[in-house]
Structures are given as C-alpha cells and as structure tokens.
Amino acid sequence: MLQNIQELYGDRLAATDGDIGHVNDFYFDDRTWVVRYLVADTGSWLSERLVLLSPHAFGHLDPDLDLVTVKLTRKQIENSPPIDAHRTVSRQFEQDYYQYYGWPAYWDGEGILGAAGFPVVATASEKKQTIHQGHNQRDDLHLRSTKEVTGYEIQASDGTIGVVKSFMVDGKSWAIGDLVVEAGHWYSGKEVLIAPSKIRRVSYDESKVFVNLTKSDIQRTAKDDVVKSRV
C-alpha cells in the first residue's frame, strides 16, 4: 500500500529502548527510485551529526500514533559510523555503515533486499560502482532528499506541467510508486500521479524533473470527476 511520504515527516522514532527523535527527511536514489535512508532529527542527543536509518532497521509504522519503530538500540545508533551533518553521503560511509550493522548492501547486485525482505533490483551502473576503494564523489550524485526535490518543476516535452508536491512510497519495500504533482492553471490545479518509469531525468542545477509525457498525455488519462490521475 502506497503512503504519502509527507505524512511521515515529524513522526516519532522509537528505538527498542527509548525514543530517538522524529522523522525529518528521506534520501532516495533517483536511478532506482527507492528510499535508501530516513534522516532522523535527534534533537540535542546527537545534534552534531547526521543520523541516517536504513529501511533494514524499520519496524512498524503506526499512522494512528504517528510513530515509526526502529529495530535498534540507542547505543547501536550512537556507536554507528558518524557522518558530519554538512557532508554528503559517500560510498565509503555506506560501506562502513552497512558493515557495522551487518546488513546486505543494496549496491551489491545479487539478491539485493529492501526492508521486510522485499527485493530491490540494482541497475547495471550500480553494480559497476561497487568495485572501488575510498570516497568517490560521484557516488553522492544520485542520493537525494525528498524535501529538496519537493517544489521542483515537472517539465514535459511541451511545457511545464506543475511542481512536485510529494512522493507516494510503499511502506514495505520503500520503493517510490509515484510522484505527486500539483498541476498548474492549465489543468485546474489538479494533482497528478506520475510513475517513475515516466521520468527521464532529474536536473538539480535547474530544479526540474523531466518526464516523457505531454500535457495531452495527462489529460487523456483523466476524467472530469477525478481529481487525481495516474500517468
């Protein structure tokens, strides 16, 4: 079942032995369109470092209590490989991080597992990038914040469709099923759901998402009495 990722922002995070903060953001891979990390706001507890939680650690999502349980102890999280709050996520950090927790790395290619044992298949380019040592700046380029991309313009082949409003995510596999797009005046400000398969590329320099669609493609999928249409 897909869930609007905005509804998770601010949810309380509970480790096995106490609270650790709340959900601040998510990092996703714009090649595979899978959430790779939850970004935790730990308040004054670990305020000087960026605390990332892999979907491997996620337990139960309780929307009624606005709660995400984490299958780790506070000490495990505190002793995990640190990353400065102002640095990007390097592959070297990820290697240390996954080794520390003993989780299968998502970039290894063979039988990659997402949360709850659901398979997430890597691309050929991901597999090639596993064979190197140390920090490679290029490894950071495809790991992006959902909050950062929110507000990006959606560029169709015949003009701007609207802006990214949110993401619909599967709470088990943590794959992104759709981008929620707020259309412009040309489409009465309706919300449109665009599948990642329709996305050609994301330009962070231009703050735009380019899609293999036209405005007519979107209009053909919708009915007059439907506010949201999927393309």
Spell out the residues 6+ positions from residue 18 whose beta carbon is closer than 8 angstroms to its own.
74
Among 143, 167, 201, the domain-final residue is 143
C-alpha to C-alpha distance for 20 and 67, rounded to whole angstroms: 11
- Determine the average pLDDT of the residues in 122-132: 38
Range of lowest pLDDT (56-65, 94-103, 129-138): 129-138
Say if residue 136's pLDDT is above 70. Answer: no
Confidence of residue 222 (pLDDT cuts 50, 70, 90): low
Residue 226 buriedness (CB in 10 A; 0-12 / 13-18 / 19+): exposed
Chain segment 158-190, per-residue pLDDT in tens: 999 999 999 999 988 999 999 999 998 888 878
User: Do 132 and 168 belong to one domain?
Assistant: no
The amino acid at residue 43 is G
- The whole-number pLDDT of residue 226 equals 38
Average per-residue pLDDT in the chain?
83
User: Do 92 and 41 belong to one domain?
Assistant: yes
Q: What are phi and psi of 203, to 5 degrees?
A: -105, 110
Residues 1, 171 contacting (CB under 8 angstroms): yes
User: Do 135 and 171 belong to one domain?
Assistant: no
Chain segment 26-77, per-residue pLDDT in tens: 999 999 999 999 999 999 999 888 999 999 999 988 888 999 999 999 999 9
Q: What is the domain extent for residue 82?
A: 2-143
Q: How many domains does the chain have?
A: 2
Whether the model pTM is above 0.85: no
Q: What is the CATH number of the domain that holds 58?
A: 2.30.30.240
